Amino acid sequence: MTQDVEMKEVPVPSNSVSSASPSILHNLKEIASLLETAAYTREVRRIVRAVRLTMVLRRKLKVSVISAFLNFALTPGSEVHSRLLSFLPKDDEQDMDVDTATSATQVPAKHALPELEMYSYLLVLIFLIDQKKYIEAKACASASIARIKNLNRRTIDVLASRLYFYYSLSYELTGDLAEIRGNLLNLHRIATLRHDELGQETLLNLLLRNYLHYNLYDQAEKLRSKAPRFEAHSNQQFCRYLFYLGKIRTIQLEYTDAKESLLQAARKAPIAALGFRIQCNKWAIIVRLLLGEIPERTVFMQKGMEKALRPYFELTNAVRIGDLELFKNIAEKFSNVFNADRTHNLIVRLRHNVIRTGLRNISISYSRISLVDVAKKLRLDSPNPVADAESIVAKAIRDGAIDATLDHANGWMVSKETGDIYSTNEPQAAFDTRIAFCLNLHNDAVRALRFPPNSHKEKESAEKRRERQQQEQELAKHIAEEDDDEF
């Protein structure tokens, strides 16, 4: 890195480009060697490492670097080589710099491995999407998917899952997501027949996203319920699945299951995935409000989320107070935000919760109040507010939301005295929910444990066992002596 500082004294500035590019090209060549080793040893973890290293370099990629790498990894003049070069924009000046700098280190390419070929597709596709060349990205993605259909290797699965994702993303960015739905279903069937579980996870999430993008919730639920399920191989894909499942459950009025899925998705998501965690929290806040819960203030004060969750914080405050007019003003004020988040229809459902919260506050504050005053305090704007207030009160009493009686003759609502909550089963239910959450968290942690390969097959010899026991005895004796010294 110190060479870049020394290069400032050289009067020719173009050498700085040629000195920086070979370092990126060298990293790509190391990734290619890693892929070759993985292909010959059939170690999928090396493929995962190669993809992870590529994501670190993606912001530094240039046309000249990718062209030089394609010349190194693929056979020059081959069909794949020519096709991938045709997708890249022309950049002759930087091509000359890199070619002159790396001509001494060029190695004649052998017959390209399928892993290297699919990695080259992935590299070009990532670059085109980052450069916002969406038309070229669609063509590149379609070509890569057509090639994947003819490959059935376990070492291809990781690369294929990434290509599936960018294939869907390139069509979504151009607004043509509906065109590839049939192809995604076909790819999911192929992945199922090939026992490609990572591909099945990825394609299932892409299909759910495709259906939800067009508000086809019933079709998404039918696909989800019939698709094969197994232990998750990718934490990112599992988080996405939980998020889509939470959205489907919310639309289907299954708020308890939706809340659990959304909160679990937000908890399992990586810290770096800020946008995803914001979306999870937005939907989780709405679901908790629909369940009659008020989210804690700390939910809205998470690092990096304060501004994005501000409209939902004000909405929560209106629901907590039970002010119907304030709720309407906030819904109108942030209508663009709610429409962009696709939560506007859910917020319309919250009107009933706002009225019920306000009615609960009234029943606690007044032992007896007329229905006319109830309609005024709830700010009902219907043609016959007293009749509406009476029906709302009657329904709330029937559902157990308030403990009161309705005097129809005199037009009163008479509240009963507040009893001792600890004499009911509510504390027991709360403890049961918390214990179940802790047990599920423990089970997930146990499943996520990793052990060295073949550790259960390595048996300890008698000599090693004696040495280990002797070391444990000496350590215990040393600890006992330290404890005696302290007293």
Whichever domain contains 346, its CATH number is: 1.10.10.10
* Domain assignment present for 215: no
What is the number of domains present in the chain?
A: 2
pLDDT at 351: 80
* Domain assignment present for 52: yes
| Residue at a domain's end among 392, 415, 438 | 415
pLDDT at 66: 81
Residue 348: domain span? 326-415
| DSSP calls for 418-475 | P--GGGSSHHHHHHHHHHHHHHHHHHHHHHT----TTTTT-PPPHHHHHHHHHHHHHH
* Domain assignment present for 204: no
Q: What does the alpha-carbon distance between residue 402 and residue 395 come to, in Å, rounded to a whole number?
A: 10
Distant-in-sequence, close-in-space partners of 376: CB < 8 Å, separation ≥ 6: 385
pLDDT at 481: 58
Q: What does the alpha-carbon distance between residue 462 and residue 451 come to, in Å, rounded to a whole number?
A: 23
Q: What share of the chain is helix, strand, coil (3-state, %, to 5)?
A: 75, 0, 25
* Domain assignment present for 452: no
* Domain assignment present for 474: no
What tokens appear for 44 in the block? 């999928």
* Domain assignment present for 207: no
* Domain assignment present for 188: no
Q: Which residue, 69, 74, 141, is CA-closest to 114?
A: 74
DSSP structural state of residue 293: -
Chunked mean pLDDT (size 10), the chain, 487 residues: 40 42 76 80 80 81 82 80 79 45 42 77 84 83 84 81 88 84 87 84 89 87 83 80 90 87 88 87 89 85 86 87 82 87 85 77 74 72 71 72 71 69 80 90 82 57 75 70 48
Q: Which residue, 208, 185, 126, is CA-closest to 159?
A: 126
Q: What does the alpha-carbon distance between residue 305 and residue 275 come to, in Å, rounded to a whole number?
A: 9
Helix (H, G, I), strand (E, B) or coil at 55: helix
What tokens appear for 37 in the block? 């080793």
| Residue at a domain's end among 142, 175, 208 | 175
For 177, counting Cβ atoms within 10 Å of its Cβ (0-12 exposed, 13-18 middle, 19+ buried), the class is: buried
407, β-bridge pairs:
412
pLDDT at 6: 42
Residue 205 dihedral angles phi and psi, to the nearest 5° = -65, -40
pLDDT at 22: 59
* Domain assignment present for 60: yes
What tokens appear for 195 in the block? 């026992």
| Residue at a domain's end among 175, 192, 216 | 175
